[in-house]
Amino acid sequence: MIMKTIALLFFTAITMSAFAQDNITICHTPATESFALFASNQDFNADHPTPEAYVHQSEVGKMITYPTSGEDANAYMLKAKVTTDSYLFVIHEWWGLNDHIKREANKLYDDLGGLVNVIALDLYDGKIATTREKASELMSSVDSERAKTIIKGALDFGGSGAEVMTIGWCFGGGWSLQAAIMAGDALKGCVMYYGMPEKDINRLKMLNAPVLGIFAKQDGWITPEVVDNFKANMAQVEEELTVKMYDAKHAFANPSNPEYDKDATEDAYRAVMAFIKPKLD
């Protein structure tokens, strides 16, 4: 407990603005990088049980590659049953684009009636973790610029007329918000599950659609205080944010988590469907 308290104080210190003057942020650690620092903490790792064995099969979903300004990127895509410019970007948790995430992408696709192109992005460039040690290594070694290049490539893949929504968990929750910011006018909505919120007011001003944030009261990492700061920042820039807070622990709804909170997960998923479906009209 002492170690966790010290870790929380440390991460809170580095993720908050270094100092502010006249309500203007002077400097800060980028949100995705501050979250990546959790990877070296044993308590954080312990909050992520090893995924159960699972092999995903689908008649619709296929692995694809698409060009970026660097090397080609990988993704798991479920193409809509009808021609549409609607896209849902799914962003994996710290294990990588594993079969659990592919299953979740399939579930989203089916429950949305196959009316949206679902693309599960791979921010690890083909690497997948099956142990906490490997997941910690992969998450901490993500190059933010490469991750942004992968997201930019996916936006380009969708085309100039694309209407984009994003969703992600944990590591992917933070990147879901970053992808939403990058989407610009193409954004229709963003869902982030207990990911690190963006703290840079100027970046939050770039959002062009509502955000649904799903968080946990017992989360020792994306704490209620972090969420309160996010709400205050979003209110300051007059961006629409809906927060669902559950009496649960971090990673309660992660599709790879064998110890997920069933009731909270199901209620959160209903909120996700209610948030996304109207945006397909």
Q: CATH number for the domain including 12?
A: 3.40.50.1820
Residue 28's pLDDT is 62
C-alpha distances (whole Å) from 36 to each of 14, 127, 135, 274 are 12, 16, 11, 30
CA 85/CA 111 separation, integer angstroms: 18
Q: Is the separation of the CB atoms in 153 and 129 below 8 Å? A: no
Q: How many domains does the chain have?
A: 1
> Across all residues in the chain, what is the average pLDDT?
90
Burial class of residue 4, CB neighbours in 10 A (0-12, 13-18, 19+) = middle
pTM comes to 0.89
**Beta-sheet pairing, 187-193 with 211-216:** parallel
What's the pLDDT band for 260 if we cut at 50, 70, 90? confident
> CA nearest 89: which of 64, 122, 135, 47?
122
pLDDT in tens, 32-48: 999 999 998 999 998 88
Taking residues 73-96, what's their average pLDDT? 97
Query: Is residue 169 helix, strand or coil?
Result: strand
Domain encompassing residue 113 = 2-51+58-280
Terminal CA-CA length for the chain: 48
Residue 3 has pLDDT above 70, yes or no: no
